[in-house]
Structure 1
Protein backbone atom coordinates (compact mmCIF):
# COMPACT_ATOMS: atom_id res chain seq x y z
CA UNK A 1 0.00 0.00 0.00
CA UNK A 2 1.33 3.42 -0.93
CA UNK A 3 1.82 6.04 1.75
CA UNK A 4 0.14 9.43 1.41
CA UNK A 5 1.12 12.79 2.82
CA UNK A 6 -0.75 13.67 6.02
CA UNK A 7 -1.56 17.20 7.22
CA UNK A 8 0.77 18.34 9.99
CA UNK A 9 -2.16 20.06 11.71
CA UNK A 10 -3.70 16.62 12.37
CA UNK A 11 -0.62 14.79 13.69
CA UNK A 12 -1.73 15.16 17.30
CA UNK A 13 -4.68 12.86 16.58
CA UNK A 14 -2.20 10.10 15.73
CA UNK A 15 -0.21 10.56 18.93
CA UNK A 16 -3.10 11.06 21.32
CA UNK A 17 -1.47 10.78 24.75
CA UNK A 18 -4.14 9.11 26.84
CA UNK A 19 -7.62 9.65 28.18
CA UNK A 20 -9.27 13.03 28.07
CA UNK A 21 -9.19 14.41 31.61
CA UNK A 22 -10.85 17.19 33.55
CA UNK A 23 -8.52 19.62 35.32
CA UNK A 24 -9.94 21.53 38.28
CA UNK A 25 -8.54 24.71 39.79
CA UNK A 26 -9.73 27.38 42.21
CA UNK A 27 -9.66 31.14 41.66
CA UNK A 28 -10.82 33.48 44.40
CA UNK A 29 -12.49 30.57 46.17
CA UNK A 30 -14.51 29.65 43.07
CA UNK A 31 -13.82 26.24 41.51
CA UNK A 32 -13.43 25.79 37.77
CA UNK A 33 -12.98 22.79 35.50
CA UNK A 34 -11.50 22.47 32.02
CA UNK A 35 -11.22 19.59 29.58
CA UNK A 36 -7.64 18.60 28.79
CA UNK A 37 -6.06 16.02 26.52
CA UNK A 38 -2.51 17.41 26.39
CA UNK A 39 -0.83 15.47 29.20
CA UNK A 40 1.93 12.94 29.68
CA UNK A 41 3.32 10.76 32.48
CA UNK A 42 6.91 11.80 33.22
CA UNK A 43 7.92 9.70 36.23
CA UNK A 44 6.59 6.83 38.34
CA UNK A 45 7.67 7.70 41.91
CA UNK A 46 6.89 10.29 42.79
CA UNK A 47 4.29 10.36 40.02
CA UNK A 48 4.98 13.35 37.79
CA UNK A 49 2.59 14.47 35.06
CA UNK A 50 3.20 17.13 32.41
CA UNK A 51 0.21 19.18 31.20
CA UNK A 52 -0.03 21.83 28.52
CA UNK A 53 -2.41 24.76 28.95
CA UNK A 54 -2.73 27.69 26.61
CA UNK A 55 -2.19 31.08 28.19
CA UNK A 56 -5.59 31.96 26.68
CA UNK A 57 -7.32 29.36 28.87
CA UNK A 58 -9.04 30.69 31.97
CA UNK A 59 -7.51 27.83 33.98
CA UNK A 60 -3.97 28.79 32.96
CA UNK A 61 -3.87 31.83 35.25
CA UNK A 62 -5.54 29.87 38.05
CA UNK A 63 -2.97 27.08 37.86
CA UNK A 64 -0.06 29.50 37.55
CA UNK A 65 -1.23 31.46 40.61
CA UNK A 66 -2.34 28.63 42.91
CA UNK A 67 0.24 26.07 41.75
CA UNK A 68 -2.19 23.23 42.43
CA UNK A 69 -5.00 21.37 40.71
CA UNK A 70 -6.85 18.09 40.43
CA UNK A 71 -6.71 15.87 37.37
CA UNK A 72 -9.99 13.94 37.25
CA UNK A 73 -10.37 10.97 34.88
CA UNK A 74 -13.90 10.77 33.48
CA UNK A 75 -15.57 7.84 31.78
CA UNK A 76 -17.72 7.70 28.67
CA UNK A 77 -20.95 7.97 30.69
CA UNK A 78 -20.27 11.69 31.25
CA UNK A 79 -18.91 12.39 27.76
CA UNK A 80 -21.39 15.20 27.10
CA UNK A 81 -20.29 17.01 30.28
CA UNK A 82 -16.63 16.52 29.33
CA UNK A 83 -17.16 18.02 25.88
CA UNK A 84 -19.36 20.77 27.32
CA UNK A 85 -16.62 21.79 29.74
CA UNK A 86 -14.21 21.93 26.80
CA UNK A 87 -16.52 24.12 24.74
CA UNK A 88 -17.18 26.77 27.40
CA UNK A 89 -15.07 29.14 29.47
CA UNK A 90 -14.95 29.47 33.23
CA UNK A 91 -14.77 33.23 32.69
CA UNK A 92 -18.54 33.32 32.27
CA UNK A 93 -19.86 29.84 33.16
CA UNK A 94 -20.07 27.81 36.35
CA UNK A 95 -19.24 24.56 34.61
CA UNK A 96 -19.95 22.39 37.66
CA UNK A 97 -23.55 23.64 37.70
CA UNK A 98 -23.94 23.84 33.92
CA UNK A 99 -22.84 20.24 33.31
CA UNK A 100 -24.08 18.52 36.45
CA UNK A 101 -20.71 17.81 38.01
CA UNK A 102 -20.29 17.44 41.77
CA UNK A 103 -17.31 19.11 43.43
CA UNK A 104 -15.93 17.23 46.43
CA UNK A 105 -13.25 18.50 48.82
CA UNK A 106 -9.72 17.30 48.18
CA UNK A 107 -7.40 16.47 51.09
CA UNK A 108 -4.11 18.06 49.93
CA UNK A 109 -5.11 20.89 47.55
CA UNK A 110 -7.84 23.54 47.35
CA UNK A 111 -9.05 22.44 43.90
CA UNK A 112 -12.01 20.04 44.09
CA UNK A 113 -12.31 16.39 43.15
CA UNK A 114 -15.12 15.47 40.74
CA UNK A 115 -17.51 12.86 42.15
CA UNK A 116 -18.59 11.55 38.73
CA UNK A 117 -15.02 10.60 37.69
CA UNK A 118 -13.41 7.20 38.13
CA UNK A 119 -10.18 8.66 39.50
CA UNK A 120 -8.96 11.99 40.88
CA UNK A 121 -5.31 13.02 41.26
CA UNK A 122 -4.47 15.88 43.60
CA UNK A 123 -1.46 17.71 42.15
CA UNK A 124 1.01 20.46 42.92
CA UNK A 125 3.11 22.31 40.35
CA UNK A 126 6.78 21.37 40.85
CA UNK A 127 8.38 22.81 37.70
CA UNK A 128 7.46 25.85 35.60
CA UNK A 129 10.64 25.98 33.51
CA UNK A 130 8.73 25.41 30.25
CA UNK A 131 5.53 27.33 31.07
CA UNK A 132 6.47 30.64 29.43
CA UNK A 133 7.62 28.99 26.22
CA UNK A 134 5.21 26.04 25.86
CA UNK A 135 2.54 26.33 28.58
CA UNK A 136 3.99 23.09 29.99
CA UNK A 137 3.49 22.59 33.73
CA UNK A 138 5.10 19.68 35.58
CA UNK A 139 2.81 18.40 38.34
CA UNK A 140 3.50 16.02 41.20
CA UNK A 141 0.59 13.81 42.20
CA UNK A 142 0.37 14.14 46.00
CA UNK A 143 -2.82 12.11 46.56
CA UNK A 144 -4.76 9.72 44.32
CA UNK A 145 -8.38 8.58 44.65
CA UNK A 146 -10.24 5.82 42.81
CA UNK A 147 -13.96 5.07 42.72
CA UNK A 148 -14.12 1.25 42.82
CA UNK A 149 -17.63 1.31 41.33
CA UNK A 150 -16.33 3.15 38.24
CA UNK A 151 -12.89 1.56 37.95
CA UNK A 152 -12.28 -0.05 34.59
CA UNK A 153 -15.07 1.82 32.78
CA UNK A 154 -14.32 3.09 29.30
CA UNK A 155 -12.47 6.38 28.92
CA UNK A 156 -12.56 8.97 26.13
CA UNK A 157 -9.61 9.68 23.84
CA UNK A 158 -9.54 12.83 21.73
CA UNK A 159 -8.69 12.26 18.06
CA UNK A 160 -9.17 15.88 16.99
CA UNK A 161 -11.87 18.15 15.63
CA UNK A 162 -14.74 16.67 17.66
CA UNK A 163 -13.75 13.04 17.09
CA UNK A 164 -13.30 10.80 20.12
CA UNK A 165 -12.37 7.18 20.51
CA UNK A 166 -13.70 5.14 23.40
CA UNK A 167 -11.24 2.81 25.10
CA UNK A 168 -11.73 -0.79 24.10
CA UNK A 169 -10.75 -4.29 25.04
CA UNK A 170 -7.89 -4.77 27.49
CA UNK A 171 -5.39 -7.46 26.62
CA UNK A 172 -2.62 -8.84 28.83
CA UNK A 173 0.81 -9.65 27.40
CA UNK A 174 3.98 -10.80 29.18
CA UNK A 175 5.76 -7.90 30.89
CA UNK A 176 8.69 -7.51 33.24
CA UNK A 177 7.20 -4.33 34.73
CA UNK A 178 5.53 -4.68 38.10
Structure 2
Protein backbone atom coordinates (compact mmCIF):
# COMPACT_ATOMS: atom_id res chain seq x y z
CA UNK A 1 0.00 0.00 0.00
CA UNK A 2 1.39 3.39 -0.97
CA UNK A 3 1.66 6.01 1.74
CA UNK A 4 1.55 9.79 1.25
CA UNK A 5 3.57 12.44 2.99
CA UNK A 6 1.58 14.07 5.78
CA UNK A 7 1.89 17.75 6.80
CA UNK A 8 3.90 18.12 10.01
CA UNK A 9 1.54 20.89 11.13
CA UNK A 10 -1.26 18.30 11.38
CA UNK A 11 0.59 15.49 13.18
CA UNK A 12 -1.09 16.33 16.48
CA UNK A 13 -4.43 15.24 14.99
CA UNK A 14 -3.04 11.71 14.68
CA UNK A 15 -1.78 11.59 18.26
CA UNK A 16 -4.41 13.31 20.39
CA UNK A 17 -4.37 11.05 23.43
CA UNK A 18 -7.74 11.36 25.08
CA UNK A 19 -10.97 13.21 25.49
CA UNK A 20 -11.28 16.94 25.18
CA UNK A 21 -11.48 18.43 28.66
CA UNK A 22 -12.83 21.65 30.10
CA UNK A 23 -10.14 22.92 32.46
CA UNK A 24 -11.65 25.22 35.08
CA UNK A 25 -9.81 27.72 37.24
CA UNK A 26 -10.59 30.37 39.84
CA UNK A 27 -8.36 33.39 40.33
CA UNK A 28 -8.89 36.87 41.74
CA UNK A 29 -12.66 36.35 42.01
CA UNK A 30 -13.11 35.07 38.44
CA UNK A 31 -13.86 31.57 37.32
CA UNK A 32 -13.02 30.36 33.83
CA UNK A 33 -13.21 27.27 31.64
CA UNK A 34 -11.01 26.45 28.67
CA UNK A 35 -11.15 23.58 26.20
CA UNK A 36 -8.04 21.43 26.34
CA UNK A 37 -6.97 18.35 24.45
CA UNK A 38 -3.21 18.30 25.04
CA UNK A 39 -2.89 16.07 28.11
CA UNK A 40 -1.49 12.70 29.06
CA UNK A 41 -1.47 10.32 32.00
CA UNK A 42 1.98 10.19 33.58
CA UNK A 43 1.52 8.01 36.64
CA UNK A 44 -1.21 5.83 38.18
CA UNK A 45 -0.81 6.26 41.95
CA UNK A 46 -0.92 9.02 42.77
CA UNK A 47 -2.58 9.87 39.47
CA UNK A 48 -0.46 12.42 37.62
CA UNK A 49 -1.60 14.20 34.47
CA UNK A 50 0.66 16.28 32.26
CA UNK A 51 -1.01 19.03 30.26
CA UNK A 52 -0.16 21.95 28.01
CA UNK A 53 -1.82 25.28 28.76
CA UNK A 54 -0.45 27.92 26.43
CA UNK A 55 1.00 31.04 28.00
CA UNK A 56 -1.34 32.94 25.64
CA UNK A 57 -4.40 31.43 27.34
CA UNK A 58 -6.22 33.35 30.06
CA UNK A 59 -6.20 30.15 32.16
CA UNK A 60 -2.39 30.00 32.14
CA UNK A 61 -2.09 32.94 34.54
CA UNK A 62 -4.67 31.49 36.92
CA UNK A 63 -3.14 28.00 36.87
CA UNK A 64 0.38 29.33 37.41
CA UNK A 65 -0.73 31.61 40.27
CA UNK A 66 -3.12 29.29 42.13
CA UNK A 67 -1.48 25.95 41.23
CA UNK A 68 -4.87 24.23 41.08
CA UNK A 69 -7.67 23.46 38.64
CA UNK A 70 -10.38 20.97 37.78
CA UNK A 71 -10.24 18.77 34.69
CA UNK A 72 -13.90 18.37 33.73
CA UNK A 73 -14.75 15.63 31.24
CA UNK A 74 -17.69 16.48 28.96
CA UNK A 75 -19.64 14.04 26.80
CA UNK A 76 -20.71 14.63 23.21
CA UNK A 77 -23.90 16.37 24.34
CA UNK A 78 -21.73 19.34 25.36
CA UNK A 79 -19.84 19.48 22.04
CA UNK A 80 -21.00 22.94 21.00
CA UNK A 81 -20.31 24.40 24.45
CA UNK A 82 -16.82 22.86 24.38
CA UNK A 83 -16.14 24.43 20.98
CA UNK A 84 -17.56 27.76 22.17
CA UNK A 85 -15.21 27.69 25.17
CA UNK A 86 -12.30 26.89 22.89
CA UNK A 87 -13.15 29.70 20.49
CA UNK A 88 -13.36 32.47 23.10
CA UNK A 89 -11.14 33.97 25.76
CA UNK A 90 -11.91 34.29 29.44
CA UNK A 91 -10.28 37.73 29.25
CA UNK A 92 -13.41 39.07 27.56
CA UNK A 93 -16.12 36.42 28.09
CA UNK A 94 -17.65 34.93 31.22
CA UNK A 95 -17.87 31.46 29.68
CA UNK A 96 -20.07 30.03 32.44
CA UNK A 97 -22.72 32.70 31.83
CA UNK A 98 -22.29 32.94 28.06
CA UNK A 99 -22.47 29.19 27.37
CA UNK A 100 -24.82 28.02 30.12
CA UNK A 101 -22.29 26.16 32.24
CA UNK A 102 -23.03 25.62 35.92
CA UNK A 103 -20.20 26.02 38.44
CA UNK A 104 -20.36 23.62 41.38
CA UNK A 105 -18.08 23.65 44.41
CA UNK A 106 -15.09 21.33 44.44
CA UNK A 107 -13.99 19.72 47.69
CA UNK A 108 -10.22 20.33 47.72
CA UNK A 109 -9.58 23.17 45.25
CA UNK A 110 -11.09 26.62 44.69
CA UNK A 111 -11.71 26.03 40.97
CA UNK A 112 -15.28 24.93 40.21
CA UNK A 113 -16.59 21.65 38.88
CA UNK A 114 -18.67 22.08 35.73
CA UNK A 115 -21.95 20.41 36.68
CA UNK A 116 -22.89 19.43 33.10
CA UNK A 117 -19.78 17.23 32.77
CA UNK A 118 -19.93 13.54 33.69
CA UNK A 119 -16.57 13.42 35.51
CA UNK A 120 -14.28 15.82 37.34
CA UNK A 121 -10.67 15.62 38.48
CA UNK A 122 -9.66 18.12 41.15
CA UNK A 123 -5.96 18.81 40.63
CA UNK A 124 -2.99 20.54 42.18
CA UNK A 125 0.13 21.50 40.23
CA UNK A 126 3.05 19.40 41.51
CA UNK A 127 5.74 20.14 38.91
CA UNK A 128 6.41 23.30 36.90
CA UNK A 129 9.89 22.51 35.54
CA UNK A 130 8.63 22.55 31.94
CA UNK A 131 6.19 25.46 32.22
CA UNK A 132 8.52 28.23 31.06
CA UNK A 133 9.87 26.26 28.11
CA UNK A 134 6.83 24.20 26.99
CA UNK A 135 3.81 25.51 28.98
CA UNK A 136 3.64 21.95 30.37
CA UNK A 137 2.17 21.50 33.86
CA UNK A 138 2.21 18.28 35.87
CA UNK A 139 -0.98 17.91 37.92
CA UNK A 140 -1.77 15.52 40.73
CA UNK A 141 -5.38 14.42 40.90
CA UNK A 142 -6.38 14.88 44.54
CA UNK A 143 -10.11 14.08 44.20
CA UNK A 144 -12.12 12.46 41.40
CA UNK A 145 -15.87 12.46 40.81
CA UNK A 146 -18.07 10.62 38.32
CA UNK A 147 -21.79 10.59 37.64
CA UNK A 148 -23.01 7.03 38.32
CA UNK A 149 -25.97 7.61 35.99
CA UNK A 150 -23.61 8.11 33.04
CA UNK A 151 -22.54 4.52 32.29
CA UNK A 152 -20.82 4.85 28.89
CA UNK A 153 -20.17 8.51 28.12
CA UNK A 154 -19.39 9.30 24.50
CA UNK A 155 -16.44 11.66 24.80
CA UNK A 156 -15.02 14.07 22.21
CA UNK A 157 -11.54 13.57 20.77
CA UNK A 158 -10.00 16.53 18.93
CA UNK A 159 -8.51 15.83 15.50
CA UNK A 160 -7.63 19.45 14.70
CA UNK A 161 -9.19 22.35 12.83
CA UNK A 162 -12.71 21.80 14.15
CA UNK A 163 -12.75 18.03 13.53
CA UNK A 164 -13.64 15.67 16.38
CA UNK A 165 -14.11 11.94 16.78
CA UNK A 166 -16.67 10.66 19.25
CA UNK A 167 -15.82 7.68 21.42
CA UNK A 168 -17.80 4.72 20.26
CA UNK A 169 -18.12 1.04 20.89
CA UNK A 170 -16.28 -0.52 23.83
CA UNK A 171 -14.62 -3.86 23.22
CA UNK A 172 -13.09 -6.15 25.81
CA UNK A 173 -10.12 -8.40 25.08
CA UNK A 174 -8.25 -10.81 27.34
CA UNK A 175 -5.63 -8.96 29.38
CA UNK A 176 -3.35 -9.68 32.31
CA UNK A 177 -3.76 -6.05 33.44
CA UNK A 178 -6.17 -5.50 36.31
Please give the TM-score of this superposition, normalised by the length of structure 1.
Answer: 0.99
Q: In structure 1, how many angstroms separate the alpha carbons of the residues matched to 2:90 and 2:4?
A: 41
* Counterpart for residue 106 of structure 1: 106
**CA positional deviation for 1:46:** 0.1
Cα displacement (A) at 1:126 = 0.1
Which digits, 9 at most, give the CA deviation of each residue in 1:95-139, with x for residues without a partner? 001111100000000000011001000000000000000000000
Gaps of 5+ in 1: none
The residue number in structure 2 matching 1:7 is 7
* Alpha-carbon distance in structure 1 between the residues aligned to 2:150 and 2:128: 33
Find the counterpart in structure 1 of residue 125 from structure 2.
Answer: 125
CA distance in 2, matches of 1:126, 1:60: 15
Aligned CA RMSD, in angstroms, stands at 0.6
Query: Hey, what does 2:156 align to over in structure 1?
Result: 156
What is the alpha-carbon distance in structure 2 between the residues aligned to residue 54 and residue 136 of structure 1? 8
- Contact preservation (8 Å) 1:118, 1:151: no
Instruction: Report the counterpart of residue 51 of structure 1 in structure 2.
Output: 51
Deviations 1:65-124 (A, max 9, x none): 000000000000011100000000000100001111100000000000011001000000
8 A Cα contact 1:122 1:141, kept in partner = yes
Quickly say closer, same or farther: Cα 1:67–1:82, change in 2 above 3 A: same
SS at match of 1:90: coil
Structure 2 CA distance for aligned equivalents of residues 148 and 115 of structure 1 = 14
What aligned pairs does 1:22-171 form with structure 2 within 5 A after superposition?
A: 22-171=22-171
Name the CA distance, whole Å, in 1 between partners of 2:77 and 2:67.
30
Report deviation, 1:151. Answer: 3.5
Q: How far apart are the structure 2 equivalents of 1:46 and 1:151?
A: 24
